[in-house]
């Protein structure tokens, strides 16, 4: 039996697709990955070169106590060689579009405490999704279509400049940035202390 997630972001888990089959290389943050017989939220996804070749690294955390018991009570990394990953298919759940959903790039300190976040809300006025203005003092706005992508790009930038630090892509359903940021902070604290969502 799968226990219901009880984290601050658990409301969003009602908003996932059914399990779909996808190539391992295309797994994205915010998706729920089915692996080892459990459900894992993908906190970050990236590629890196090691002495053993190019690898895909997924940072994941169990979505419930039962899922953690079969894996780990912490956020952990699943690394796999790209040559293997390109032939592997996995089951994932995809977050559905949601006007209240924020996607956040979250930075943690060396002990796993929430340090700060940048966020974009789906459909909200966004300068990144708009054309660059001729006059930089008068920015253009378009409804945000790539909030997840913005957060993921930010995390990838941070990974380059601070490679030892942990960075997550988290989402929250909220009406304001302050609420979304508070959910991100609570979620990080829950991952650090309880070890699952």
Q: What minimum distance in Å lies between the beta carbon of 188 and Zn ion?
A: 23
Of 94 and 124, nearer to Zn ion (C-beta) is 124
Q: Which residues pair with 119 in a beta bridge?
A: 104
Q: What minimum distance in Å lies between the beta carbon of 149 and Zn ion?
A: 8
CA within 13 Å, CB half, 168: 30
Give the single-character DSSP code of 95.
Answer: B
Of 45 and 129, nearer to Zn ion (C-beta) is 129
Q: And the tokens for 26?
A: 């295309």
Q: And the tokens for 62?
A: 């169990």
Of 18 and 131, nearer to Zn ion (C-beta) is 131
Of 35 and 130, nearer to Zn ion (C-beta) is 130
Q: What minimum distance in Å lies between the beta carbon of 71 and Zn ion?
A: 34
* 71 Cβ contact list (under 8 Å, min separation 6): 36, 38, 40, 62
Q: Is 170 helix (H, G, I), strand (E, B) or coil?
A: strand
Judged by the rule CB under 5 A, the positions of this chain that interact with Zn ion are 126, 128-129, 144, 146
Q: What minimum distance in Å lies between the beta carbon of 189 and Zn ion?
A: 28
């Amino acid at each position: 039996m799968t226990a219901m997630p009880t984290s601050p972001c658990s409301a969003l888990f009602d908003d996932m697709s059914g399990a779909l089959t996808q190539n391992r290389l295309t797994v994205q943050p915010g998706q729920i990955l089915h692996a080892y017989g459990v459900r894992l939220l993908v906190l970050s996804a990236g590629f890196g070169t090691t002495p053993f070749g190019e690898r895909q690294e997924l940072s994941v955390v169990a979505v419930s106590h039962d899922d953690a018991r079969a894996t780990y009570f912490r956020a952990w990394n699943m690394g796999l060689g790209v040559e293997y990953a390109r032939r592997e298919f996995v089951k994932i759940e995809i977050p559905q579009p949601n006007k209240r959903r924020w996607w956040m790039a979250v930075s943690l300190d060396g002990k796993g405490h929430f340090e700060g976040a940048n966020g974009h809300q789906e459909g909200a006025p966004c300068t990144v999704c708009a054309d660059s203005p001729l006059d930089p003092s008068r920015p253009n706005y378009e409804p945000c279509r790539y909030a997840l992508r913005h957060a993921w790009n930010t995390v990838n930038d941070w990974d380059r400049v601070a490679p030892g630090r942990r960075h997550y892509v988290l989402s929250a359903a909220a009406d304001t940035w302050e609420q979304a940021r508070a959910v991100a902070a609570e979620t990080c604290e829950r991952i650090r202390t309880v070890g699952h969502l």
